[in-house]
Amino acid sequence: MLNPHRLRLHGRPVALPGRHASLNQAWLGIRSPQWGSSIRYRPGIRNVASEAGENDTGHINPAENENILFFDNVFPLRLQWLSRLPFQAEAAIPRLLKHLNTTSIPNVDPLKAIEQSNVDKTPLKVMEVLPRLKEGGAFVKFQHDPSVSAETIAENLKEYLKGHPMKPWWNPFQSMRTNLVRGRPWVEDLYRLPSSRLKVEFLPPKPGQEAAELSQEQLYSYFRPYGKLSDIIPQPPDSKVLPKYALLDFAQVKPSVMAKNCMHGYIVPESAGGGKSGTVLRLTYEQKRKAHWLRDWLTSHPRIVIPILGALAAAFTVAVFDPIRTFFVKAHITRAFHIADNRVYRWFRAQATDWLSFHRRKEDEEGMQAVWDDRKENIQQLQTWLMETADTFIIVQGPRGSGKKELVLNQALKDKKNKLVIDCKPIQEARGDGPTIAATAKQVGYRPVFSWMNSFSGMIDMAAAGATGVKTGFSETLDSQLQKILNNTGTALKEIALDCRKKGDKDSQLGDDEYLEAHPEKRPVIVIDNFLHKAQENSLVYDKIADWAAALTTSNIAHVIFLTTDVSFTKSLSKALPDRVFRQISLSDCSPEVAKRFVITHLDADVEDDGEHADHEKKLTHPVRKKDLQELDTCISYLGGRLTDLEFLARRIKTGETPTKAVNEIIEQSASEILKMYLFVGDDNGRKWTPEQAWLLVKQLAEKETLRYNEVLLSDTYKSGGDDVLHALEQAELISIVAANGRPQAIKPGRPVYQPAFKLLTEDRVLRSRLDLAILTEQTKIENATIDKCENELRLLAELPKQPAEVTSRVKYLLDKLAASQAKVEAYDAESGKLKKVLKEEY
């Protein structure tokens, strides 16, 4: 055990000078001989508590025959973060290690190493110890006999540590090392953390002198003894930075710490390549990575970073939001959170409804019962198809107001629990990508949906493309967003179809696809309403829905029923299922008998209600209403079997109007709609027909209930783009086109009530004269154009130098055609004069 009596200089005990007497008692509360700081502060050994050197000068000044040793691995290097804390934390680390250290675990102690390595009892005295917390080591200044060199003492100590390694308990794989300090160490307490890279600057010993730049070989010979070097990076030749420098990369941090503390301030002599006056080596830690290297790299590589951020955002969305969205879609289909389906709520609602309405009957349901009795076969057919395995579409086609949705949802699917209704009308009428996405998500219960993010990400993508020159793909198109919504819905539908499957079933060994194919009754039903509504404006939504429905149908996940008014639905759906035959139900207007029963049922329900709760004055009106029903047959012949018109008629009769008056008002209202929607249209309305083309059909259908399709196309008004115009008028529901064997055959009014409305319009002489005059004007232009064409060709033939006999027939043909057109023009002018006279004389 080393003590002051055994530390001798020239064989005599030596005490420390009196100026250290107060420090000799400094102990910092650490016991001896084992104490956590790994340095035993004994009487006679000065402890410099601060890391700023002697008298906070930043240096250790050895006197004559004094030298300095540096020991590493004395403190944990990972405690360097304590240098950022107040100074009390740095002073408290020895106390902390004191409590962690035990007698059973060997500790690292520089003084103990010096004592035990001095086997030949070389006169040696430890003067002071300076701990280096952030570098994990300590400086030990010692005094020795001039007869023994400091290098010899250091080598003996290094040999001893090799044979008797001292390993700290916090790092049992590395032992304490020591080296003689050759330079003048700078023991600063700045917030500079050790690094495996050292910056070596070459300075002159005195101002005004010149320093030599050491080569890589010279640097290697000086610094390799302290540890493995991974690289030596000299200053670039074209660099004008002063002073000159070189970078040393050590394989580990601890050799870098040892080299920095031992070689800082070392003067390379002229004999070793240091120049005439020598060269001072100034060493500092150099961080390999900049403080903001990550931020700088991210901002410097937008072409890489922005797509990665987009991919991470997409992955986060899939991982976090997709399960939530699938859950909400399932809840929307199964109506798990719909309070109206709760049994208790329905009971209370029934009781409250009965009490408030005094058992009022629902005349609407009673009236529709007559229609359902007539269409019972269609209802049964739909229910049969839903029990079969056929992987094809079911289409219910019929004009607007024919009761398609009520037939499917209220009758065929009345007892079906899992059904999803998608109304294409709000989706198609949405303006912009964001509203379209929001409308689609609402139809399937897809939430949360961030439709505004589509426009926001689009702006980010545009800005990034302007900065980087390439598209980043951060934004998603409407196509991809719709596909994502439909894919989530498909996942939810499959989970719903498999929810009723149990392990104990007899077919539990079947896979999911085989199970769904074997149990078509377990599949949910998708009802797509208003399919192809305004499809001429944009068909993207319908193409996506058709492809998605085809995938669900062929995968046996769900039954799909399309409700449409468009007779050309096969053109759109055949793209999605080209190799399937569709199952189709066409709903037409009700027969006169069913229409009469429908109206009478509405009236009877109201009579029964009035008989119980109405006053005496209302009762007196019923015989009058029953008497008026004698006119009902004639009125129904005008309205036809369109359910919306029949219901409108019944409601008007219930208000006290006679059937004749009610029908006349319905016809007048329909005539006004025709004028506004089809005849009085401007040039900038985006419609594909002209008022003259619509009026020609109105005038002809007023005389005949059915027109030949091809005969209409032969008229002068429909010579240019006649097919497109007729199909546009069919989509607008002015007419309906009857097809036979896949080709258009006949043209009828779009609604039965339009037939008398057409007659009413043609009976207006002023209106008829105005629109006929427009048609005559258009036809006159056509004939004049024909005349101009014939005259131009005749002029060319007349300019020939000779008149060959072969052109005689051509000249005669042109003259006859010119004469015929001229006769038509004259007839049109004569008729136009009569029409103008009517317009001048009548209001």
Cα dihedral: 478, 479, 481, 483 (round 10): 160
What's the average model confidence in pLDDT over 508-537? Answer: 88
Report the alpha-carbon angle 657-659-661, nearest 5: 65
Pick from 671, 821, 682: nearest CA to 754:
671
pLDDT at 591: 78
The residues, any chain, with a CB within 8 Å of residue 68's CB and separated by 6 or more, are: 60, 62, 139, 140, 141, 142, 180, 181, 185
Domains of the chain: 1-191 (no CATH), 194-289 (3.30.70.330), 316-360+391-586 (3.40.50), 592-671 (no CATH), 679-841 (1.10.10)
- Whether the CB-CB separation of 279 and 202 falls below 8 Å is answered with yes
Cβ neighbours for 703, distance < 8 A, ≥ 6 positions apart: none
pLDDT for the residue 754: 92
- Average per-residue pLDDT in the chain? 80
Residue whose C-alpha is closest to residue 372's, from 592, 526, 594: 594
Q: What is the pLDDT of residue 283?
A: 96
Q: Which range scores top for mean pLDDT: 7-11, 422-426, 498-502? A: 422-426
| The pLDDT of residue 401 | 80
Q: How many CB atoms lie within 10 A of CB 260?
A: 26
Q: Which residue in this structure is represented by tokens 């500079």? A: 192
* Cβ neighbours around 535 below 10 Å, total: 20
Position 13 scores a pLDDT of: 33
Instruction: Report the distance separating Cα 787 and Cα 782, nearest Å.
Output: 9
Instruction: Specify the range with the lowest mean pLDDT, choosing from 150-164, 503-517, 794-808.
Output: 503-517
Give the pLDDT confidence score for residue 100 in this predicted structure.
45
**Are the C-beta atoms of residues 58 and 129 closer than 8 Å to each other?**
no
Q: What is the pLDDT of residue 225?
A: 94
Mean pLDDT of 512-531: 90
Say whether pLDDT at 592 is over 90.
no
Q: Tell me, what's the pLDDT at 771?
A: 92
On the question of pLDDT at 423 being above 90, the answer is yes
Of these ranges, 32-46, 543-557, 588-602, the one predicted with the greatest mean pLDDT is 543-557
What stretch of H or E contains 748? Answer: strand 743-749
- pLDDT tens profile 79-133: 666 655 655 555 555 555 454 444 444 467 788 888 888 767 777 888 888 888 8
Q: Per residue in 217-262, pLDDT tens?
A: 999 999 999 999 999 999 998 999 999 999 999 999 999 999 999 9
Q: Give the pLDDT of residue 417.
A: 87
Q: Which residue has the higher pLDDT, 76 or 20?
A: 76
Cα(677)–Cα(713) distance, rounded to whole angstroms? 22
Please answer whether residues 424 and 545 qualify as being in contact, where contact means their C-beta atoms are separated by less than 8 angstroms: yes
Q: Which residue from 676, 685, 670, 651 is spatially nearest to 759, judged by alpha carbons?
A: 670
Could you read off the pLDDT of 606-664 as tens digits, one per residue? 554 444 444 433 443 444 455 556 677 778 878 887 888 888 888 888 887 888 888 89
- Which of 87, 231, 45, 70 has the alpha carbon at shortest distance from 154? 70
More confident residue, 470 or 417: 417
Q: What is the pTM of this model?
A: 0.61
Task: Say yes or no to pLDDT of 359 above 50.
Answer: no
For the segment 270-329, what is each residue's pLDDT rounded down to a tens digit?
888 888 889 999 999 998 766 577 787 887 887 788 778 777 877 777 788 888 889 999
H or E segment and range at residue 528: strand 525-529
